[in-house]
Amino acid sequence: MNSQFSYFGPQFAFKCICLVLVAGRGLISLYGGIQFALHNCMHLGGLEVTFQAMQNFTFHNPVQIVFGKGSIAKLAKLVPASAKVLVVYGGGSIKANGVYPQVMAALAKHQVFEFGGVEPNPRYETCMKAVELCRKENIGFLLSVGGGSVLDGTKFIAAATGFKGSDPWDILAQGAEVTSAIPLGCVLTLPATGSEMNAGAVVSRNSTQEKLFFVSNLVYPVFSILDPETTFTLPLRQTANGIVDAFVHTLEQYLTFPADAPLQDRQAEAILNTLIEEAPKLAKDPKNYSARANIMWCATQALNGNIGLGIPQDWSTHGIGHEITAFYGLDHAQTLAIIWPGVARNRMAGKLAKLVQYGQRVWGLSGADAEVAEAAIEKTEQFFTTVGCPTRLSAYKVDAGEAAKRVSERFVARGQGGIGERGDITTEEVAKIILSRR
């Protein structure tokens, strides 16, 4: 790892949403990939685009996706018959939307335990109660039933139960190695995070107001069941959050600088265009199966590793957004809707080529480069607002000055340097970005 980009060191890599690529002896995060990319480009200085070719990568994604109507019944065969199964879920919506009885019917011949109450932005404190249960009952398989938060919590429970160190929090805070994990599966009810097909998880800790990330190839789900009908009854806010999260996951990987990777570019543009086309259909008809199915698959594709292979990546919006969630409790996607336009404008010069490509191909814009770039950002803001995520801090009653101060102080306290695909978003720029979103 390149010491000049300390922000991308292992600490940071474990703190943010990212995908994993299996490389060499184990996992590297996207951040590792960025760091590698930066090493190649920064020596040439300035904003020069120095990528001449796709970066090397190794890709292996072992998750079995079981997609479509009626798929929950397949749990009967997917979950190992001999294992004690812990079904992990959130606030109980699965009992209202008909998913819970389907799961329990499918697991009628299994020995099943339950753990409910995993929060949005899953809490370490809650997960550790499940860890106790897993240890006491010798649980052999975890089944996450819910959205990305429940699944991320389940991944942490899986990794923490057999953790050999003194405190499983070290997995998140210190990047402590995960050496064993309970196998897990997933029934996804909220398309958003992509966690169903990656090896990352984000967990928050109440007592310290921290939201941290870990990644381990041991927590890839063995399978993920994606039945779009489970999303029919999602509240508008959660539907909007899912669309915005998937959209920004795509932008974090796509909207950097040209890397001579036209396939990944077009795969990313396909996801963005599909989300833009499908989202309005749900406003008219929340039970539109095709729209739900397409959005669900977009969210998975946005963060299963595929579109980010061999290219530079940004992730500064997530880095800043996580802190705003940690301090103010905003939904993850709400923070992304606020911060991404600020990052795009703040880094306009470095991102210009891709902003123009994005504006032309995704939004059908034409004109001078600077105008297309600005219009593309405005179109994105309008899209976020229209689907249900306002893009200003004031809409959530967060004081921009205070947020800028708190977030930048935390970045300084962690000794973090520059973020973004070039590592050039300093703490001062982070504060400016937040202030620009008042």
Nearer to Zn ion, 17 or 255 (CB): 17
Which region, judged by CB under 5 A, interacts with Zn ion, from 10-18, 117-125, 391-399, 408-416? 10-18
Nearer to Zn ion, 245 or 331 (CB): 245
Residue 314 binds Zn ion, judged by CB under 5 A: no
Nearer to Zn ion, 331 or 374 (CB): 331
CB of 332 to Zn ion, least distance (A): 6
Residue 227 binds Zn ion, judged by CB under 5 A: no
Looking only at residues 243 through 262 of this chain, which bind Zn ion when binding is defined by CB under 5 A?
245
Nearer to Zn ion, 322 or 347 (CB): 322
Nearer to Zn ion, 152 or 245 (CB): 245
Calculate the CA 38 to chain-centre distance: 22
Which region, judged by CB under 5 A, interacts with Zn ion, from 11-19, 38-46, 167-175, 417-425? 11-19
Buried b (16+ CB within 10 A) or exposed e, 113-140: bebbebbbbbbbebbbebbebbeeeebb
In the 8-state DSSP scheme, what is residue 56? Answer: P
Nearer to Zn ion, 87 or 343 (CB): 343
Nearer to Zn ion, 229 or 245 (CB): 245
Structure tokens at 33: 């990939």
With CB under 5 A as the rule, give the number of residues binding Zn ion: 2
Residue 429 binds Zn ion, judged by CB under 5 A: no
Residue 17 binds Zn ion, judged by CB under 5 A: yes
For strands 223-226 and 111-115, give the pairing. Answer: unpaired
CB of 82 to Zn ion, least distance (A): 36
Residue 240 binds Zn ion, judged by CB under 5 A: no
CB of 315 to Zn ion, least distance (A): 9
* Angle made by CA atoms 12, 223, 78, in degrees to the nearest 5: 150
Residue 152 binds Zn ion, judged by CB under 5 A: no
Angle between helices 348-361 and 332-346 (to 10 degrees): 110
Which region, judged by CB under 5 A, interacts with Zn ion, from 16-24, 60-68, 129-137, 144-152? 16-24
Measured distance CA(93)–CA(75) in Å, rounded: 19
Which region, judged by CB under 5 A, interacts with Zn ion, from 72-80, 101-109, 223-231, 241-249? 241-249
In the 8-state DSSP scheme, what is residue 309? Answer: T
Nearer to Zn ion, 17 or 407 (CB): 17
Which residue pairs from 154-157 have beta carbons closer than 8 angstroms and sit at least 24 positions apart in sequence? 154/88, 154/118, 154/184, 154/186, 155/181, 155/184, 155/195, 155/200, 155/201, 155/219, 156/122, 156/124, 156/127, 156/201, 156/203, 156/214, 157/86, 157/88, 157/127, 157/130, 157/131, 157/182
Residue 343 binds Zn ion, judged by CB under 5 A: no
Strand, helix or coil for residue 62: coil
CB of 317 to Zn ion, least distance (A): 9
H helices of 169-228, in order, are 169-173
Beta bridge partners of 214: 201
Nearer to Zn ion, 17 or 34 (CB): 17
CB of 327 to Zn ion, least distance (A): 17
Residue 331 binds Zn ion, judged by CB under 5 A: no
CB of 147 to Zn ion, least distance (A): 12
Residue 389 binds Zn ion, judged by CB under 5 A: no
Nearer to Zn ion, 88 or 246 (CB): 246
Question: x-or-dash pattern for Zn ion, window 85-124, by CB under 5 A?
Answer: ----------------------------------------
Nearest to 150, CA basis, from 234, 109, 93, 90? 90
Which region, judged by CB under 5 A, interacts with Zn ion, from 128-136, 242-250, 351-359, 381-389? 242-250
CB of 313 to Zn ion, least distance (A): 13
Q: Give the DSSP H/E element, type plus range, for residue 219.
A: none
Task: Note whether 11 and 414 are within 8 A (CB).
Answer: yes
Residue 196 binds Zn ion, judged by CB under 5 A: no
Task: Note whether 296 and 239 are within 8 A (CB).
Answer: no
CB of 163 to Zn ion, least distance (A): 25
Other C-beta atoms closer than 10 Å to the C-beta of 311 total 26
Nearer to Zn ion, 190 or 356 (CB): 190
Q: Give the DSSP H/E element, type plus range, for residue 287.
A: none
Structure tokens at 183: 């196998």
Measured distance CA(191)–CA(243) in Å, rounded: 8
Other C-beta atoms closer than 10 Å to the C-beta of 60 total 11
Q: Which residues bind Zn ion (CB under 5 A)?
A: 17, 245
